[in-house]
Amino acid sequence: MTIWLNAGIIFTLLAIVTILIKWGNVRVVGVTPVRTFTFIAILFTSGLDVGLIMFPLTKFAGYADIKASPEYAFANPLSIEFGYWGFLIWGFYFLTCFYFCVIEPKVKFFEIPWVKFLNNVVIIGTCAFTAYLLLSNLPWYIPELGDGSSVIPAFYLIVLAAICFAVYSSTDIKYVRFLSIATTWLFIALIGFMWADAFLFGDSELSAFTQNIGLIGNYFANINEFVLPLNDYHEFYLFWWFAWSIMIGQFTSRFVGGLKTYQVLGAMLIFPSIPIAIWFSVLYHYHEAGIPTAGIKNFAMVFVGIVFVINSLDSLIRLYTDNLNLTVKRLGKFKYIAMNVIALSLLTLLFKLEFLQIQWVGALVIGLFFICLGFIAYSKFKTVSNIEGSPKANKIDYTKIETIS
């Protein structure tokens, strides 16, 4: 599996370089273009989940224990955690976003029936895994509701509610912008709240925060170390990002609003990484200073994390229902909601039974990448060579998201 993953990563990086060389100045326009801030908000909130909010506090100590994990000795714990979530990894999303916006309309690889089937297996599987991840971690997210380790009925209800909200929001495209922008501001508010509690109303010195920001520079000084997996845990993350990449690329490609290719790459690498860096720097101070997060702070973190999950599920549900023509227009709102809620709930339980593994999904995505490359080389090479930009039918109209049904 490691060799397969390494091959996928190397292919991804080479593909990005090729895209920049051939189409670097091409203006990229999706079928439903939005302004840049909205595009970044959609990308950020659909491409992440509750793990961004809750995981770092539990991981810093492990990264610091270089006796147990000597592979982390080259960098500080904050930059290690940033490497799992920030900057370079967002290139995965760029590759698929560009492909689905510019190349796929000409190639139509994902319209081949068996490819379409596998693509939807990936989307639905990752959708269920996202809900499962929330369910399995709720005991320690909200220890006040249980014993801190067991999944109690209340947690099933929370996950069911998240699925229901996501399914309902996916019934209309106009909810995308509202949900994404609202979640982005919620996350910014959470960062501000946690920062103020430590540095304005607490006893912490502001210099500690600025020092933490500086520590992230260690990531960029050692960025080569993060290209291939450091260990099994990093390998799991990278497969996870691959699993997400093919879906987030399909989803976000709809909303690119006229940026040039190199600007899309820059926006995807830089803009999501800024709030991630600030958030992790705040959390790292909580870890280093031993500041507790129980009570209102933990509730705020869990709430924002669940809203991230709703965003992610919303984007994935839209994708597979569109791909399978299981739309609200065809089924009616009640049948659409009932079908998706039941299907996702059952699949979430399958993940809980460990019948499915997200690594398998990521490996399948890498396989689709290679098969797509072979398909283009064999039968669509000239077509792709002649591509000059996004489909001409894609016009920059920022009001389209309000009028499309």
The string of pLDDT tens digits covering residues 343-399 is 888 888 877 766 667 788 899 999 999 999 999 999 999 999 999 989 988 888 877
pLDDT at residue 110, as a whole number: 94
Using only C-alpha atoms, the chain has a radius of gyration, in whole angstroms, of: 21
Q: Which of the residue ranges 127-136, 314-323, 335-344 would you say has the lowest mean pLDDT?
A: 127-136
Q: Exposed/middle/buried for 332, CB within 10 Å: 0-12, 13-18, 19+?
A: exposed
β-strand partners of 260: 27
Close Cβ partners of 288 (under 8 Å, ≥ 6 residues apart): 60, 208
The whole-angstrom separation of Cα 218 and Cα 220 is 6
| Whether residue 148 has pLDDT greater than 80 | no
Contact predicate 362/4, CB 8 Å:
no
Model confidence at 275, in pLDDT bands (50, 70, 90)?
very high
- Report the amino acid identity of residue 306: I
Does residue 63 come out as left (phi exceeding 0), alpha (psi in the -120 to 50 range) or beta?
Answer: alpha
DSSP string, 85-151: HSGGGGHHHHHHHHIIIIIHHHH-GGGSHHHHHHHHHHHHHHHHHHHHHHHHHHHHHSGGGSSSSS-
Verdict on whether the full-model pTM lies above 0.85:
yes
The whole-angstrom separation of Cα 196 and Cα 201 is 6
Other Cβ atoms less than 10 A from the Cβ of 206: the count is: 11
The string of pLDDT tens digits covering residues 15-60 is 999 999 999 999 999 999 999 889 999 888 887 777 888 888 889 9
* Residues 195-224, mean pLDDT to the nearest whole number: 93
pLDDT at residue 387, as a whole number: 93
Report the range out of 148-152, 212-216, 248-252 with the highest average pLDDT: 212-216
DSSP string, 203-245: S--HHHHHHHHHHTHHHHHTGGGGSS-SSHHHHHHHHHHHHHH
* Residues 245-271, mean pLDDT to the nearest whole number: 93
Question: What are the sequence ranges of the domains in the chain?
Answer: 37-96+121-243+270-364
- Report the amino acid identity of residue 108: K
DSSP string, 344-378: HHHHHHHHHTT---HHHHHHHHHHHHHHHHHHIII
Q: Which of the residue ranges 65-79, 87-101, 280-294, 349-363 would you say has the lowest mean pLDDT?
A: 349-363
pLDDT at residue 279, as a whole number: 96
Kindly state the percentage of the chain with pLDDT values over 70: 98
| Whether residue 190 has pLDDT greater than 90 | yes
Q: Give 225 or 400, the one with higher predicted confidence.
A: 225
